[in-house]
Chain A
Amino acid sequence: MAVIEVPAARPLRWYSPQRIATAYWIVGAALVLLPVVASSFVLTQIFAWAMILGTIALSLMFLAGYGNMVSLVQMTVAGVAAYMVAIFGSSAVDTISLGWPWWVAVPLAILVAVAFGTLSGALAVRTEGIYTIMITLAIAAAMFYLVRQNYTLFNGFSGLNQVRAPRFWGIDWRSPVPFYYLSLAVAAVSYFAVVYVSRSPFGLALQGVRDNPRRMAALGFNVTWHRIAAYAFASLVAAVAGVLLVWLNGQVSPGTIAVGPAIDILIIAVVGGISHPIGPFLGALLYVLLRTFALDILVSLGLAGERFQLLIGLGFLVVVFFSSDGLLGLWRRYRERARRDPLTGEVADG
């Protein structure tokens, strides 16, 4: 019997370009080339802001989508990171700010925020389902009242302002184009980190815990520690976004971490869809566009511009009522309908 040499198909490594779907190339190229066409307002106030909010919502999506833990504390974790950057770094309130260089302040801030998020998570995982929402909401609100009432550390109602993004490598990172690329990089790294973790053994075990905690416990997995570790990872993502948030706004105040913004993050994640990491970014872009242009839309419809919250609330209600998985769910339903054969009702593959 002759041995025939069959050239083995080259295995696809993670870095081979064929493995990456076309959509990624298109979206990535569009985002990288955006500064060529877009104005600095569009770059910072729409896209950078949407990426930051999207990253915070991504941390919620990770917890809710893969762990079934809807945590309202993610905005607070980001806010803690923002406050810590202002406290360890420099701000206009020099009685509070320590004025340390950014490469000390930022890692410390992230560390504190992750510790805070993990501790909140450790509290929240003692309960399940609906109780998690209530407890994280209570933690978020308690933190809001604490920073509003505390003047020695958080400067109370007015918060800390004039927080500047650092300059290094000869670049002012607060100017629009560098800041846009910085947020894009953070968003992309967070996105791929979430995708990677969700496919890692830890992520798979977490999804197992989501689907059936008792069976996972019987198989020898420590359910509680998986959940707490998920909170720690999500806190890391939210904390990095929080650092960018304080650099974008230049200030941080109790309003940043009030209950309203915490719920906005939930709305962003749910409207976008919590079954895939891209959902939060879609939701964030929609939210930011609405937030920026709702005034003009409302005025052109003859309504008062302040009714923005009403618009957001009603839109949210409609999405939640009609789709259990936000925009992603609507898209999936549309795809399925398009693929369905009108005669047999069967769904074609592909």
Chain B
Amino acid sequence: MVRFVERHPIGSAIVAFLVALLVWAIFAPWPDSLEDLVGRKKIFLNALFNGITLGALYFLVASGFTLIFGLMKNVNLAHGSLYMLGGYIGYEVADATGWWLLSFVVAFVVVGALGVLLQYFVFRRMEGQDLKQTLVTIGISIVIADVMLWIWGGDFYQILTPSWLTGPVELPLITGISRRSGDYIYLTYPVVRLVILLAAIAIGVGMWLVLNRTRIGMLVRAGVDDRDMLSATGVRIQRVFILVFAFGAGLAGVAGVIGGTFQSMAPGEDIRFLLASLVVVIVGGMGSIPGAALGALLIGLAEQFGSVYAPTYAVVLTFLIMVVVLAFRPQGLVAVRR
């Protein structure tokens, strides 16, 4: 970092200034002139937090996608369907048993098992055939989507938040000053979203630890770098593949339960989240977990700020980010070294 500052003094000064501006905008009460210019601070803070939590959800979906792609070079266009299947399964479990936490476990296990089947029966048979894999996964996603439409119909489903997570919490962030009493007004925010954000961060950190500090993570990283060499050293690489695929798919299932809790499940969500994970991994860099985190954060923020400040063009903003990244860094922001 010191070397980066030494090499790019002007760039780092601009970055430092922007970060300081952002910190000030988050913590300080806004003067009236600024509120007249860009709207109330509460709206800004809400958009910021919604963007971060949405980014957390995108990260959960996209990290499985990018992990699978990075290791096996499998493009699984049925990933959005796995997400939605997880959401529906979570809804059924939570509805039948009333245990919200249990629905995560069941969704992870069931969708992960489906991932094992996919890897064992489909991807293992067409290793290295990009186009065929893509086409087959498109076919699978069409079939899964229609079967889900068959079972659950076109209605909206929402998983009920458990009582211990409902309601807002007051955060130590000032949104404004009360005109009448002169007290500070603090931001209130739904607890469940904060918990989801923390859980996503925990999962992300856990994944980083597993990948960088354990033996299985070492195998996965070696497989990403050179698959043939790893299998030549005697590692049963097919088992590693199945494990990673199961984990990535299970993560999509868990993300489905989360998405079903703070948004809702309906036909079409699978394509939305497939698109989101595609854009996230294109922006962040294929096969990179930190890239997925950065991309997810950027896209989540862009979507929320876009829908608050320029409602018609929210999607275009997301798309513009992708275009700019492709134009200047086609390998993604956090590129894997090759």
Show the binding face of A for B, using Cβ within 8 Å: 70, 123, 126-127, 129-131, 133-135, 137-139, 141-142, 145-146, 149-152, 259, 263, 266-267, 270, 304, 306-307, 309-310, 312-314, 316-317, 320-321, 324
Contacts and interface: CB of A to CB of B under 8 A. Distances in A.
A123 B139 CA distance: 26
Contact of B275 (A137, A266, A310, A321): A137
Interface in B112-140: 130-132, 134-136, 138-140
A139 B146 contact: no
B330 A307 contact: no
Given A135-B282, A138-B282, A307-B150, A259 B330 contact: no
A6 to B, nearest CB: 52
Given A127-B330, A137-B275, A321 B136 contact: yes
Contact of B143 (A123, A127, A310): A310
B134 to A, nearest CB: 5
A139 B319 contact: yes
A313 B136 CA distance: 9
12 contacts: A123-B326, A133-B75, A138-B279, A145-B315, A149-B314, A150-B312, A267-B138, A306-B149, A307-B146, A313-B143, A314-B139, A314-B143
A142 B315 contact: yes
Given A126-B327, A130-B130, A146-B316, A259 B139 contact: no
> What are the nearest 8 A-B pairs in CB distance?
A313-B142, A145-B315, A142-B319, A317-B139, A313-B143, A309-B146, A310-B146, A141-B275
B275 to A, nearest CB: 4
A41 B318 CA distance: 43
B264 to A, nearest CB: 18
A149 B142 contact: no
Given A142-B319, A312-B142, A324 B312 contact: no
Interface SS of A by simple majority? helix
Nearest to B323: A123
A316 B138 CA distance: 9
A149 B312 contact: yes
Given A70-B134, A142-B319, A259-B271, A127 B326 contact: yes
Given A126-B330, A138-B278, A146-B316, A313 B130 contact: no
A229 to B, nearest CB: 19
A316 B312 contact: no
Contact of B135 (A134, A266, A304): A266
Contacts of B149: 306, 309
A146 B275 CA distance: 14
Contact of A70 (B131, B275, B278): B131
Contacts of A321: 136
Contacts of A127: 326, 330
Nearest to A263: B138
B322 interface: yes
Interface in B285-338: 286, 311-316, 318-319, 322-323, 326-327, 330
A309 B134 contact: no
Max chain A Cβ within 10 angstroms of own Cβ: one of B77, B275, B279: B275
